[in-house]
Amino acid sequence: MAFPSRCTETPMSHGENSQYTRTHQYSAGSGRALLQSCPGTFYAREDSLQLEPLKPAEHQFAEGEFVPRGFRENVNPNLFAVPNPARDWTYSNRRQAQMLLPFLYLGPWTCLKDRRWLQEEGFTLLLAVRDRRLAQVRLVSGEKVATEMEIESDTVDIVGNQELISILPRAIRRINNHVFSHSVIGHGKPPKIFIFCETGNGVSAVVIIAYLMVMFNAELPQAIHAVHLQRFCIETDDESRMMLASFGSILAAKRDVEQTQRSARMNCLSPGIAPRATSRKRNIAYCNEMETGDGMDVDDIGDQNGLRKPLGPFQDRSE
C-alpha cells in the first residue's frame, strides 16, 4: 500500500513576515526513519543478509541490572552457544517450539499439551507472556502443567507495548535468575526455559529479542534476525519494533554509564595515579564570587555550572 505524499507546505518560520525564526536546522519527518534499520519479516535466506551472527560478548551492564552477581563466573558459557539456523521451515512448524539457545525455547501455548515432549526436553521453567485480560480468566498459563511436573512457572502480564518496555528488564532478570540458581545450587539437571504466548509469534518473541539484545550486546536488526532464523513465523509490527528500538536506546545509555564508571574505578585503582587535590581556598573564593556575582555575567554562571538552557527551536525576531 502506497502512502500519500507529504504536502509541501512552507513552514511559518521560513516566511519573511513571520514573528519567529528557527534557531536549529530541522526537517519534517516521522518515526518511519527509525524503522528503516529495523527489519520486519525476512523473506530471504540467511546467507543473503549482511548481518553479523550473534556471538558471546562481555556483559556491559552493572551486575544486578540484568544478571545476578557472580553470573558469568558460575554459569556454563555453553548455554549461550548460538545454534545453527533452521534450514527447512514448513508451515506446520509454527505449532512447535524452537530452540533459540540451548536453555531457551520459544513456541505457542498449545505446546503445553504435549507432556511427553516437555518431560523429554527437561524444562525447568514455563514462562508465559500474556495480555493482562487473559490473566484475569487464567488463560495462557503454565501453572497447572508445572505443578504436575514439579517444576517452576511464572508469568509476565502486560497491557500493551508501552507497559512492556518497562517490564522487559524484570522478564530478563527472571530468566537469568533461574539460570543462575540452577547453575549454583545444582538441581541435578541444567536450566531449560520455555517462553510462550498465545501464538508464540507475538509478545513472547519480543521478550526473547530484548533478551538477545542485552545478553549479546546485539543491535535490534541483528536480534530480530537471529530469532527469525529459528522461528520464521514471528511477528514484529511497527509498534513492537519502535518499542524495541527505544529499549535499544535505553541499553546504549546504560552501557555508556557503566563504561564510564568502570573507567573511573580503573583509574582510581591504577598505581602511581593519585587523585587530584582541589584547593580549599580557591573553592571558598569561587563560591563567594558566585554568591555575590562580582565580575560575572548571568550567562557565564550558567555556563560554569553546565546549567545553561539550550536554545529553543524558535526565536522571536524582535530579540
Percentage with pLDDT > 70 across the chain: 66
CATH number of the CATH domain containing 139:
3.90.190.10
- In the chain the first and final C-alpha atoms are separated, in Å, by 47
pLDDT at 270: 63
Residue 208 covered by a domain: yes
202: pLDDT strictly greater than 80: yes
Q: Provide CB contacts within 8 A for 22, sequence distance 6+.
A: 11, 13, 14, 313, 314, 315
pLDDT at 289: 54
Kindly report the CA angle at 186 between 184 and 192, in degrees rounded to 5?
90
User: In which residue are the cell numbers 503445553 written?
Assistant: 112
Instruction: Calculate the average pLDDT of the chain.
Output: 78
Grid coordinates belonging to 221: 536488526
4: pLDDT strictly greater than 50: no
DSSP lists the bridge partners of residue 105 as: 99, 194
Q: Can you give the residue range of the structural domain that contains 239?
A: 98-255
Average pLDDT over residues 259-268: 82
pLDDT at 11: 53
49: pLDDT strictly greater than 50: no
Which has more confidence, 262 or 80? Answer: 80
Residue 98 and residue 126: Cα distance in Å, rounded? 14
295: pLDDT strictly greater than 80: no
Residue 75 covered by a domain: no
pLDDT at 301: 45
Give the model confidence (pLDDT) of 140-193 as tens digits. 889 999 999 999 999 999 887 778 899 999 999 999 999 999 988 766 789 999
Residue 237 covered by a domain: yes
Residue 104 and residue 121: Cα distance in Å, rounded? 11
Average pLDDT over residues 109-129: 95
Handedness of CA 84, 85, 90, 92 (dihedral sign): positive
The Cα-based distances of 256 to 61, 160, 298 in angstroms read: 9, 28, 32
**3-class secondary-structure state, position 154:** strand
Residue 198 covered by a domain: yes
Residue 34 and residue 36: Cα distance in Å, rounded? 6
User: In which residue are the cell numbers 565580575 written?
Assistant: 295
Residue 63 covered by a domain: no
Residue 121 confidence class, pLDDT cut points 50, 70, 90? very high
Structural domain count of the chain: 1
Answer yes or no: are the C-beta atoms of 176 and 66 closer than 8 Å. yes
Residue 123 covered by a domain: yes
Residue 266 confidence class, pLDDT cut points 50, 70, 90? confident
**3-class secondary-structure state, position 220:** helix
Residue 278 covered by a domain: no
Grid coordinates belonging to 151: 517444576
284: pLDDT strictly greater than 70: no
Answer yes or no: are the C-beta atoms of 204 and 106 closer than 8 Å. yes
pLDDT at 199: 94
293: pLDDT strictly greater than 60: no
**3-class secondary-structure state, position 36:** coil
Residue 94 and residue 91: Cα distance in Å, rounded? 6
DSSP lists the bridge partners of residue 194 as: 105, 126
Residue 159 covered by a domain: yes
